Structure 1
Amino acid sequence: MERMGSSMKKKATARQHKAEVMIAGEQLRLRLHDSKLIKDRRYHLRTYPNCFVAQELTDWLISHKEAPDRGTAVRLMQHLMDHDIVHHVCDKRSAFKDAKLLYRFRKDDGTFPFNTEVMVFMRGQRLYEQLISGRSSILQVREEQGVSYQRSFPGCQMIDWLLQNGEAESRRQGLELCRALLEHGIIQHVSLKHHFFDSALLYQFCINFRRRRRLAELLSESEGEGLGVDGAGEAGPQMQEDSTDSPFVLRRTSSQEGNSSFLSVQPSKEIWVVSSKRRGSLPSQQNGPGGYFPPAALSSASLAKCNPKSVLRRSVTCQELLSPGAPFIKRVLTVVGDAVGWGFVIRGSPPCYIQAVDPGGPAAAAGVKVRQFVYQVNGQCVLHLDYRAVTRLVMTGPRTVVLEMMEPLD
């Protein structure tokens, strides 16, 4: 039986900590928006959108008991800077200073670095939400060698679930996905002894995506305190009870109990939604936010980069697109998502348009190009919808997405 080496365990733990930092950073970002600490600010005759002042944030962290003193607050924010969660507005400073300097969350300006690690994390969070929200979830209390483990699942049953829910086309693809989740610290064998196998061995999610994080945990975890589930089967610090305060919690609305559409607890806020065939949203700063549909494969080296500047040469209205004789042609494109995603970025509110395309992804192969406007998704007109609604349609739809696009003639 193949065993997990110590080096793999260390890598998984480090990656798991990065995932915890991303979740904590996103929760902090939403709280700061709610507190109006993030807003457009003017400095030297230039306006910087969605920024916060470092000194004001330090005061906020102390007043909200997220940090006991200013030194700890600075260390916390430096930790987020080191993980590419926040940055100085001009990217000229690599250190976080407790001063009247402007900083910004990379998710607010579309410069968040989407790499393989982030995409696997997003995929894992999406699967976790689907599994937790299901009425007959495979996550149950199970025993292995006389020890009980909460929310555990046999490896073979997880692959069955992936196939039944269209998250994998074959058992081999399901196995590769689960092994990627394990290698990136999203799931693990309950006693940390084995890699992932299509067998009756028990596994658990290492991360409770719904738990509200305290920023102080980030420093203690980075200094070596435990992550994950211990050998006795008791949940580690991140496996506490679900918190409905988390911006990552997905809930059915009362009017939607009968369908598969999910909305955020905070519908006015963007959320990271893990996705494989279904995508999450990525707000970005330009004329309007945008939805990110991760690139093609786990091993893809060419990743779609989120450019904070719009690719449109000029603003276009819905009326202009629909007017007779407009210089646009319609094209129907079928994009089949692979193990990770579709590989394109949308923006606009409304109309939505294609901001970026992964050259090695399914979208590029299907003919999706930048500057195309999204007219229909799976037969439904979305021209007058913003990126949130369009993202939701794609996210809750089938793996194969039929897009009707309006393409400029010039």
Structure 2
Amino acid sequence: MERTSSIRRKAMARQHKGEVMIAGEQLRLRLHNGKLIKDRLYHLRTYPNCFVAKELIDWLVSHKEAPDRATAVCLMQHLMDHDIIHHVCDKRPVLKDAKLLYRFRKDDGTFPFNTEVKIFMRGQGLYEHLIGDENSILQLREEHGVAYQHSFPGCQLIDWLLQNGEAESRRQGIELCRTLQEHGIIQHVAKKHDFFDSGLLYQFCINFRRRRRLSELLNDSEQDANEGVAVSTPEDNLPDNPFVLRQKKGGNSPTFHIWYSEVQNRYLLISFFTVLKRNYTCEELLAPGAPFIKRVLTVIGDALGWGFVVRGMAPCYVQAVDRGSPAAAAGVKVRYMLHTWD
């Protein structure tokens, strides 16, 4: 059990690094398109493909990627700590909200393509190939009465790897898939098995195509620091907390009534910062004409729990969702607001 927990923690840490790389690359491309990254002259020397920290902080706040300048600095420092960006002379390990020049390591060829990065990129390439396949093996399937989207039997993935020249033998394919599992790229749908060349179902843990919000990186890093488990606080033990109610009632298939608002043809949930600044009442959620839509999601817990954290009182809101957990599989997302607990 201890070994399993250790492997899971390592996989989560590697998965977070992968999320940082994706978010960093998405930001880099946006900044290039917005002309914030360009050649700049400083002290009679030209530095190619640079951005000014102060201008970037302005951009992050104006584009609502961060609620304030302090948070924006924290986000960029997070990218710096993961070797995504750096000071042009590598003399400043701490990002400053000032007229200093920084650069993406991918733009100057200093990005560290170590073993972990290469494995992550291999997984990303496989995901893109599979998701774009007209007859993709990623389908809605059931295991033990539970449906899992974009799942695949292990044996079918090995077949696909062989057919597409991604592996020379079944043994090599199994080794590749187990490496991807160790690095938090694929997993058994219920997190109960290592990878086997069998009919057991697996999923990609990461949606490589999803547009990342930079604020997710800080939430994920806090969650990883706690080994994926919420730290108990006095608020957690309040009698109105849904976790306490469910624990008293027993059972592992709770149903949540959840509201969210739909804007610009995509699901835009009440932001985490908005929830903290303004407490919505149950009456506002239920009021006729309110910009919230009610969904009923059923989460079937596993041996490790449900995989999400709630905060607040009447209504509560989802603060964190464990990637690949039963809650994530059921569609629970951060910033969903909970009103009742049946």
Determine if the TM-score, normalized by the shorter chain, exceeds 0.5.
yes
Corresponding residue for 1:360? Answer: none
Q: Which residue of 2 aligns with 1:138?
A: 137
CA positional deviation for 1:226: 3.5
More helix by share: 2
SS at match of 1:223: helix
Change (3 A) 1:166 1:3: farther
1:12 match: 11
The answer on 1:229 being equivalent to 2:324 is: yes
Determine the structure 1 residue equivalent to 2:26: 27
How far does residue 227 in structure 1 lie from its aligned partner after superposition?
A: 4.0
Map 1:331-370 onto structure 2 (within 5 A).
Answer: none
Q: Hey, what's the Cα distance between the residues in 2 that align with 1:162 and 1:3? A: 32
Q: What's the counterpart of residue 90 of structure 2?
A: 91
SS class of match (1:91): coil
Aligned match of 1:178: 177
1:390-409 to structure 2, matched below 5 A, reads none
* Deviation per residue, 1:367-393 (Å, 9 max, x gap): xxxxxxxxxxxxxxxxxxxxxxxxxxx
2:246 equivalent in structure 1: none
Q: Contact (CA 8 Å) 1:24, 1:214: kept in 2 or not?
A: yes
Assess, with a 3 A threshold, how the Cα gap between structure 1 residues 214 and 190 changes in structure 2: closer, same or farther.
same
- Distance in 2 (alpha carbons) for counterparts of 1:142 and 1:4: 29
Aligned residues: 237
Q: How far 1:235 sits from its partner (Å)? A: 5.0
Contact 1:229–1:236, Cα closer than 8 Å, also in 2: no
> Per the alignment, do residues 237 and 181 of structure 1 end up closer, same or farther by CA in structure 2, a change over 3 Å counting?
farther
Q: Secondary structure at the match of 1:5?
A: helix
Matched with 2:41 is 42
Q: What does 1:194-209 align with in structure 2 at a 5 Å threshold? A: 194-209=193-208
Percent identity over the alignment is: 76
- 2:126 alignment counterpart: 127
* CA deviation vs aligned residue, 1:269-299 (integer Å, no higher than 9, x gap): xxxxxxxxxxxxxxxxxxxxxxxxxxxxxxx
Contact 1:156 1:199 in 2 (8 A): yes
Alignment partners' CA distance in 1, 2:331 and 2:170 = 29
Assess if the C-alpha contact under 8 Å between 1:227 and 1:236 holds in 2: no
Distance 1:178 1:8, change over 3 A: same
SS at match of 1:156: helix
Alpha-carbon offset, residue 229 of structure 1: 1.7
1:231: how far off?
2.7
For residues 335-361 of structure 1, what are the alpha-carbon distances to aligned partners after superposition, in whole Å with 9 as ceiling and x for unaligned?
xxxxxxxxxxxxxxxxxxxxxxxxxxx
**CA offset digits 1:229-249 (Å, max 9, x no partner):** 2136335759xxxxxxxxxxx
- Distance change (3 Å), C-alpha of 1:105 and 1:236: farther
CA distance in 1, matches of 2:18, 2:330: 20
Q: Aligned partner of 1:105: which letter?
A: F
Q: Secondary structure at the match of 2:152?
A: strand
1:188 maps to which residue?
A: 187
Q: Tell me, what secondary structure is at the counterpart of 1:143?
A: strand
Q: Determine if contact 1:3/1:194 at 8 Å carries over to the other structure.
A: no
Match of 1:169 in 2: 168
Equivalents in 2 of 1:49, 1:186: separation in Å? 34
- SS at structure 1 position matched to 2:326: coil
Is the 1:3–1:193 contact (alpha carbons within 8 Å) kept by the matching residues of 2? no
TM-score with structure 2 length normalisation? 0.67
CA distance in 2, matches of 1:43, 1:138: 53
Looking at structure 1, the residues matched to 148 and 163 of structure 2 have their Cα atoms a distance apart, in angstroms, of 24
What is the alpha-carbon distance in structure 1 between the residues aligned to residue 185 and residue 333 of structure 2?
15
Alpha-carbon distance in 1 for matches of 2:19, 2:330: 19
Q: 1:131·1:137 contact (CA, 8 Å) conserved in 2?
A: yes
Kindly tell me: are residues 218 and 119 of structure 1, through their superposed partners in 2, closer, same or farther at Cα, counting changes over 3 Å? same
Change (3 A) 1:105 1:123: same
Q: Could you list the per-position Cα deviations for residues 32-82 of structure 1 after superposition, in whole angstroms to 9, with x for gaps in the alignment?
A: 011110000111111100000000000000000000000000000000000
Aligned-partner Cα distance in 2 for 1:229–1:130: 21
Q: Distance in 2 between matches of 1:163 and 1:227?
A: 32
In structure 1, give the amino acid aligned to 2:76.
M
Whole-angstrom CA distance in 1 between matches of 2:14 and 2:29: 23
Q: TM-score, normalised by structure 1?
A: 0.56
SS of the counterpart of 2:123? helix
The offset of 1:200, in angstroms, is: 1.0
**Any idea what the Cα deviations from partners look like across 1:206-238, whole Å, max 9, x if unmatched?**
000111000000000111044422136335759
| Residue 193 of structure 1, CA deviation | 1.1
Between the aligned partners of 2:50 and 2:29, the Cα distance in structure 1 is: 13
Letter in 2 for 1:52: F
Instruction: Return the letter of the residue paired with 1:89.
Output: V
Q: 1:227 to 1:86 in 2, by over 3 A?
A: farther
SS where residue 57 of structure 2 aligns? helix
Structure 1 unaligned regions, length at least 5 = 239-410
